[in-house]
């Protein structure tokens, strides 16, 4: 009878220890996954913000170069046409390079 009682106590004690370990492991895993998700989202947001600012800067740079060429060539649309052709050529080169 005491053997059954000892087995029962050992079983209760071991199940409590295992339950505590699993709860602690679950908390640590949840914290790790949450931190990892936050880091990934931060990188994505910073990348999108950086790309957006870069694109806005490029647009302003291209518009200003088109205006400068238009004034230099004494034509209203010539600068926009030249800059547009350069952008199309650069886009085609990038497209062709990405499909190799």
Q: Using one digit for the tens of pLDDT, what is the confidence trace for 62-77?
A: 999 999 999 988 888 8
**Which tens digits make up the pLDDT trace of 4-59?**
777 777 888 888 888 877 787 788 888 888 999 999 999 999 999 999 999 999 99
Q: What is this structure's pTM?
A: 0.61
Domain ranges of the chain: 2-98
Cα distances (Å, whole numbers) of residue 56 to 49, 74, 90, 93: 11, 27, 18, 21
Name the phi and psi angles at 27, rounded to 5: -65, -45
- Please give the torsion angle defined by the CA atoms of residues 47, 53, 54 and 58, in that order, rounded to the nearest 10 degrees: 160
Q: Classify residue 65 by burial, with Cβ atoms within 10 Å: 0-12, 13-18, 19+.
A: middle
Between 4 and 60, name the one with better pLDDT: 60
């Amino acid at each position: 009878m005491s053997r059954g009682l000892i087995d029962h106590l050992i079983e209760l004690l071991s199940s409590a220890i295992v339950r505590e370990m699993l709860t602690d492991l679950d908390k640590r895993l949840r914290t790790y996954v949450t931190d990892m998700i936050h880091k990934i989202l931060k990188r994505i947001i910073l990348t999108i913000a950086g790309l957006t600012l870069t694109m806005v800067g490029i647009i302003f740079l291209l518009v200003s170069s088109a205006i400068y060429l238009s004034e230099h060539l004494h034509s209203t649309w010539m600068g926009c046409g030249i800059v547009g052709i350069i952008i199309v050529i650069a886009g085609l080169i990038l497209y062709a390079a990405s499909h190799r």
